[in-house]
Amino acid sequence: MKRVSLGLGIGVVVGFLVSKKIKSDALSPENALKKVKIAVKEEHNVSGSWIHMKPETIERFGLKYSAYRGGLTSPTNDGVVQYEFLADTKTGVLLSLEQM
């Protein structure tokens, strides 16, 4: 009986750790936003930003991506400019950046 309980306990722990690892393949929205800000900092002075917490599936160049949608605000000589972006959930790579 002790062996069965021990085996069951080990199985539950291993299952929990494996599921946690699978879920951790995606970046958190906050980390993706940090990567986007780093990617655009040479061209834009970011004064504000936001990101959706729930990823969405998009298609670019015939490939499907899981992406976070977000936005950036950047002051310019002509006023404040807003941008919307899509960032890959696994790498944080900027997939698109469009001025609104």
Residue 34 has a CB neighbour count (10 Å cut-off) of 15
Structural domains of the chain in order of their starting residue, each with its CATH number: 26-99 (3.10.450.40)
Structure-token match 């998009």, residue found:
58
β partners of residue 64: 59
The pLDDT tens digits for 38-96 are 999 999 999 999 999 999 999 988 989 999 999 999 999 999 999 999 999 999 999 99
Residue 61: per-residue pLDDT: 87
- Please count the residues of the chain: 100
CB distance 93 to 32 below 8 Å: no
Got the DSSP string for 44-70? ----EEEE-SS-EEEEETTEEEEEEEE
pTM given for the model: 0.72
State how far the Cα of 35 lies from the Cα of 70, in Å rounded to an integer: 12
Nearest-5° angle of CA 19, CA 70, CA 20?
A: 5
